[in-house]
Chain A
Amino acid sequence: MAKSPKITRIETFHHGEYPNLAFVKIHTDDGLFGVGETPGSPAPVHAFIHADAAEYLLGKDASQLDLHWSNLAKMAGGMRSRGAEMRALSAIDIALWDLFGKRVGEPVYNLLGGLSRNKIKVYNTCVGYPFYMDRTEGPKPGSPDYVPKGPYDDAYASLIDPVGLAESLHADGFRAMKIWPFSQFAAKTNGQFISLEDLEAGTEPFRLIHEAMGDQMEVAVEMTQSWNLPSAIKIAQAVTPFKPLWFEDAVQMDNLDALAQFRTSTNIPTIASEGVSTRWSFREMFVKQATDICMFDLGWVGGISEAKRVATMAESFGIPIAPHDCVGPIAFMAGVHLSLNATNTYIQETVRSYRATWYNDIVTALPKVEDGFASVSDAPGLGLDFTEKFLKSDLLTVQVSEL
């Protein structure tokens, strides 16, 4: 009978430089710990972990991942919740997998069933350095007053110099990239209507890149759930001549029938959605044949456990997965472990501007990205920890619940 490691201590970290991330560290009585992370507003996540989840988890056997998932999911909102509770559960689940791997001395990908490949093709999401973290007002990329923040200010470049950006990515080994030039126009009408003028302006980067690079660069169209169905179809039709990689989050995920209608309107693949949580929601999406490719974020979908379950279910529908990145380093690492394991991985997302900068300030190791492919080491668990710099920062607030 295997030893049952008891959960003794749960820490959460809030760091002033990363106001949109919640971090968790779970300790067991065998001296090990695991780390997890989730994006979005951290205040309610931390509140749920310390006021509610900790009371349940402390003293429990850390190896009962499925049972803890199921019980925590029932605590609020139900199994399809996409709110603070599901984000907290996702972070906890990632930490429990990290712990599991460290306990048995194996990388997480082996615990999921081993490598289906040694490296996975990646595409670059063209955000700039501050896109996600910066919640201040002020000029955004695209406005005349905006000043680029460094060589990888890729969201800015996607609007100002799309061909230069594509060439720079190509030189870094990428053959696929993602941009969202239409989203800048959505606020005018709250996504209810796109004018022909804006349609043409938004299509321009796709035309320019396709004409300059041809089959050397595939460009994904991110529509950020910003548009109603007729506007989304208009956008898809406009970009189709330039052979995009896919159309992402074409409509809001509240209405999967509308997404299914979008999908049948185009012969370019539809992908959805990082904004969807849990197997129950994805099951509805798959049954309705609303997507060609399944995207999820491990920090939101319900952790590594739920991502693996969704990936397997997707496979039974003939649907490949493409794990999301663009939120934080631990969810990215967990995503690559799953990408390497799952038999049905299409491609993995990565963000070069984040990997080059703040991801490294938070954790000690990241997936290796080389020649347009990502791989991970065989270190136990997720193979990373918080950096000394992160843990010793004056901007760090730690909250603890313990036995």
Chain B
Amino acid sequence: MRITKVETVRTSNIPRWVWVRIHTDSGLIGLGESTAVSAPTEAHIRAELAPYLIGKDPMQVAELHEGMQSRSRIGPNGSAEWRAISAVDIALWDIVGQATNAPVHQALGGRVRDSIPIYNTCADWRYAVRQGSTAFGLSSPTDHETPAGKYDDLQGFLNDAGSVAESLLSEGVKAMKIWPFDQFVQKTNGQHISAEDVNKGMEPFRKIRERVGNQIEIMAELHGMWNIPSTVKIVNALEEVEPYWVEDVTSADNVEGLRQVQERTHLTVLGNETLATAEAYRPMLSSGAIRILMFDTTFVGGFTEARKVMSLAEAHKVPATPHDCNGPVNLFAGIHMCMHAPNAFIQETTRAFIHEVYGRVVDRLPRIENGIVFAPEDPGIGTALREDFLADPATVITTVQG
């Protein structure tokens, strides 16, 4: 089998997303995806990766992964190049799965489970459109002119967190992630948080505990935006509500800083989906800076690298969990990794994205019932871009072929 054509697909409705479709002479099409700052990702796929890939055998993913790295002149840590490689690698595994009539988790070596619990990240669908680097939806809630839709979990957790928790429990979802401290970041660019703001940030957590007690787990997301004294202040306050974990307590660029925060709290520090490659995670694991590892298949280097990262975490007896809150292919990728890796324990989902965006883009969604997501059964990644999405005037497809 040979690669004949590489397409990048973007939509002006959600500029943060980019897909890659790898066509083969067998007729199989592999689908991959990445997110974040997508113009340079797309440019790298078109200018560097596509010319290398065309004519190659898509089944030799390991060789192509190495080859793409050498075409990219980069070390570890996140970048447009790694997002581009991630998207392509996912598409290659999709082809491997389809060609061997196996879901990707099977092609990776098989499953250790056939379902896994999910938690809900409390965004609304507009959060997918534009996340500012220091905003994460909270800097100016009025700058989105389109309505939030049915699942306005973002304003929900800020104003009426108890009701969001009740709504999730009614769907069988027993864990939720919120980030109320982000609303105070811009005042000081994360350099200082006042006692008053810490207290205000605690309100949603307290409201959840008051309404539903310990029926629901709460993940506290800090987005790596605070310096160490500020984040320690926040983490100290959070101990009162026993969150499941505290995520990205400070920038992933500072492994010692992460470790210092972890040493000073009994809470579980989790990090960090922004990294690429197993090498980048190694210092964080070996120094005990995190107790749970999070990765994003569309950032880390695709399945080829995600598998290494999860195995490295396993060797350190550290559980690992895939990031979502990006695109639909990423969610499928995370689920496949959860089925395959022994040290997975929960999968992130964003119900606002699943119900209001993903279904408009891809032809199949994962089966989620009662807070549990099930192993995809179809060969490959188990989803594809919808024909009506590809035909939409807002969708831009760019092709590189031999």
A residues lining the B interface (CB < 8 Å):
40-41, 43-48, 50-52, 70-71, 74-86, 88, 190, 252-255, 275-276, 278, 280-281, 284
Contacts and interface: CB of A to CB of B under 8 A. Distances in A.
Contact of A84 (B66, B79, B254, B277): B79
28 contacts: A43-B40, A44-B43, A44-B81, A44-B84, A47-B40, A48-B37, A74-B133, A74-B134, A76-B40, A78-B77, A78-B252, A78-B275, A79-B253, A81-B79, A82-B75, A82-B77, A82-B79, A83-B40, A83-B74, A83-B80, A83-B82, A84-B40, A84-B81, A86-B79, A254-B76, A254-B279, A255-B279, A281-B77
B192 to A, nearest CB: 16
Contacts of A80: 77, 252-253
Nearest to A76: B37
Given A83-B78, A254-B75, A76 B47 contact: no
B187 interface: no
Contacts of B76: 82, 254
Contacts of A45: 40
B108 interface: no
B47 A41 contact: yes
Contacts of B66: 190
Interface string B8-50: 0000000000000000000000000000110111111011100
Nearest to A75: B133
Interface of B: 36-37, 39-44, 46-48, 66, 72-82, 84, 133-134, 189, 224, 251-255, 274-275, 277, 279-280, 282-283
B46 A83 contact: no
B274 A52 contact: no
A42 to B, nearest CB: 8
A43 B46 CA distance: 9
B253 A280 contact: yes
Contacts of A276: 75
A78 B37 CA distance: 12
A314 B229 CA distance: 26
Contact of A44 (B40, B134, B255): B40
Across the A-B interface, give the 10 residue pairs with the lowest CB-CB distance, nearest first: A83-B79, A51-B39, A43-B47, A44-B40, A47-B43, A77-B78, A254-B279, A76-B37, A48-B40, A84-B80
Contacts of B279: 254-255
A44 B75 contact: no
Interface centre among B41, B80, B282 (most CB of A within 10 A): B80
A71 B134 CA distance: 9
Given A48-B40, A76-B37, A82-B79, A254 B277 contact: yes
B77 A75 contact: no
Contacts of A85: 37, 40, 79-80
B113 to A, nearest CB: 32
Contacts of B37: 48, 51-52, 75-76, 85
A77 B251 CA distance: 11
Contact of B283 (A77, A84, A284): A284
A252 B36 CA distance: 27
B15 to A, nearest CB: 8
